[in-house]
Amino acid sequence: MLRRQLVLLSFAAPLLAQQPAADSTVVDTVAPGLVHTYVVRAAGPWRAHVLSVDLRGQRYAVRSVRALDSLRGREKVTDIARRARASGLVVRAAINADFFDLKTGESVNNQVSGGKLWKALAMSGPPGGTVKSARGQFGITRRGKPVIERFVFSGIVHAGRAFWALDGVNAIPSNGQGLVLWLAEGNGRPRFDSTRAGRELRAQLVRGTWRDSLTLRTRGRVSAADSTPLAPDEVALVAYGPTAARLDSLAALGRPLVVRADWLPSVGALDELIGGWPVILRDGAPTVSESAVRELTGKTNADVRHPRSLIGFDADTSHLYLVAIDGRSSASVGMTLAEAADFLRGLGVAHALNLDGGGSTALVVDERIVNKPSDPAGERSVANALLIVGRTP
C-alpha cells in the first residue's frame, strides 16, 4: 500500500503546495531513498514533517556543519545549506541541531565534522549555568553507522611511554580543572575567565589530523593563559586547577607530543558528532523520565508543548529520520518530549534524540524550508546543522 502511494504521489503536485485535511498523511518521494512525509493530526493539533533517509547502499552521507564555519557565530539553516552547496556538496536536506548561547552562537555540546574536532568536553549544560551533565549526542561512526549516546571526551597526550589525560578541546572545563588543547578555531573565545584561570604552553602543530593523531612540538615556557590569537599551525595546551602539574611535565620533556581523541562509551572512531538534549528513545522504549535524572532535563522543556527538531534511526540503522514538529500556533501546538517519543515510535524509530527546538526548529528539503518556524521574524539563525548529502558517483 505504501509503495503504491509513493508512486502516485511522485506524479502529484509538490508536497508543499498540497493542502492536507485533518488526520492526513501526504508522502512525497524527493529522490530515491529520500522520502518526505507531512503528517497532520487533529488531536493535538499537530503538524509534522518527517524526512526518511535510506542509509543502505551509501547513497547519502550525513554531515555536521558549523554556522559560518566558525566555533562562534550564528547562521540560518537555509544559508548553511546554501554555503555547503556552493562548496560543491550535493545537499538534499538540512536540520538545525545543537542548543547554543544566543549571544555568542557557541554550541553547548561536542562537535566533530568530517573527522575534524571543533569542540570537546566531558560535561555540558546551559550556557553560563552551574549544573552540568553528559548530554545526548548524535554521531556517525567511521563505518557510516548512526549512533546516539551521552558521549564524554577522552583524549590522551603522550610522548613515548609517558601518558597524560586530555580533558577537552576549545572549551574551558565546567568544573574548573583539566588539561585542554586550544586550536586556532577557538580564537575569539578567551582561554580563561574570572573563576577559571589557566596556565598555558604554546606548541606548533607539526602534522596529522584528528582522524588519526596530531603531532605537536612545544615551544617557549609555561605562562598565564591569555587571549592572544593562535596562528593556523599553532596550538596552546592550557591547564586549569590542579592539573597544572601535567603542563609542567609536558614542558620539561622537550620532545614532540602526540595527541589522540576518543569518546566514551567507545563506539569506534566518530567522523561526525553533534549535540542535543535529551535522548528520548532507546531500543524502542521511551527514556524521557530517565532523562530528567541522567541529563537534568527541565520541566519547561520536557512537559511543555514546543516546536521540536528530532533525529532518530530504526533498530537496524538502515533508515535515518529528520523530524520537524511545528508549534506555538492554532494549527499546531507542538509536542511534549513524551508525545514526541510516542510519535517517533509510531514511525518505527528505535533510537532518538531531541535537538534544539522552539524558534530554532527548521527543516530544509531541496533548498526549501518545509516547516513553519515559530519566531515572528521567521527562520532563526542557529549554531550548527546536520546535512544530508548525496554522494557523487
Please identify which residue in the block is written with the cell numbers 535510506. Answer: 54
Query: Is a pLDDT exceeding 90 seen at residue 254?
Result: no
Percent of the chain's residues with pLDDT above 70: 93
Type of residue numbered 161: R
Query: Is a pLDDT exceeding 90 seen at residue 5?
Result: no
CA 259 to CA 212: how far, in whole Å? 9
Residue 32: what pLDDT? Answer: 96
To the nearest whole number, what is the mean pLDDT of the chain? 91
Please identify which residue in the block is written with the cell numbers 593556523. Answer: 232
Query: Is a pLDDT exceeding 70 seen at residue 274?
Result: yes
Average pLDDT over residues 268-281: 96
Residue 46: what pLDDT? Answer: 97
Banded model confidence at residue 130, pLDDT cuts 50, 70, 90: low
The answer to whether 77 touches 96, Cβ cutoff 8 Å, is yes
Q: pLDDT tens for residues 284-336?
A: 999 999 999 999 998 999 999 999 999 999 999 999 999 999 999 999 999 99
Residue 197: what pLDDT? Answer: 87
Residue 237: what pLDDT? Answer: 96
Residue 49: what pLDDT? Answer: 98
Average pLDDT over residues 110-135: 81
CA 257 to CA 116: how far, in whole Å? 19
Banded model confidence at residue 125, pLDDT cuts 50, 70, 90: low
Cα–Cα distances in angstroms (integers) from residue 374 to residues 1, 46, 160, in the given order:
34, 14, 55
Residue 285: what pLDDT? Answer: 98
pTM for the model stands at 0.92
Q: pLDDT tens for residues 6-37?
A: 333 333 445 554 555 578 999 999 999 999 99
Q: pLDDT tens for residues 100-111?
A: 999 999 999 999
Q: Is 288 helix (H, G, I), strand (E, B) or coil?
A: helix
Query: Is a pLDDT exceeding 50 seen at residue 360?
Result: yes
Residue 195: what pLDDT? Answer: 83
Banded model confidence at residue 131, pLDDT cuts 50, 70, 90: low
Using alpha carbons, select from 126, 146, 36 the residue that is nearest to residue 386.
146
Using left for φ > 0, alpha for ψ between -120 and 50, and beta otherwise, residue 250 falls in: alpha
SS (HEC) of the chain: CHHHHHHHHCCCCCHHHCCCCCCEEEEEEEECCEEEEEEEECCCCEEEEEEEEECHHHCEEEEEEEHHHCCCCCEEHHHHHHHHHHCCCEEEEEEECCCECCCCCCECCCEEECCEEEEECCCECCCCCCCCECCCEEEEECCCCEEEECCEECEEEEECCEEEEECEECCCCCCCCEEEEECHHHCCCCCCCCCCCEEEEEEEEEEECCCCCEEEEECCCCEECCCCCCCCCEEEEEEEHHHHHHHHHHHHHCCCEEEECCEECCCCCEEEEEECCCEEEECCEECHHHHHHHCCCCHHHHCCCECEEEEEECCCCCEEEEEEECCCCCCCCCECHHHHHHHHHHHCCCEEEECCCHHHCCEEECCEECCCCCCCCCCCEECEEEEEEECCC
Average pLDDT over residues 144-167: 94
Q: pLDDT tens for residues 220-247?
A: 899 999 989 999 999 999 999 988 888 9
Using alpha carbons, select from 198, 195, 159 the residue that is nearest to residue 178.
198
Residue 176: what pLDDT? Answer: 83
Q: pLDDT tens for residues 189-218?
A: 889 888 888 999 999 999 999 999 999 999
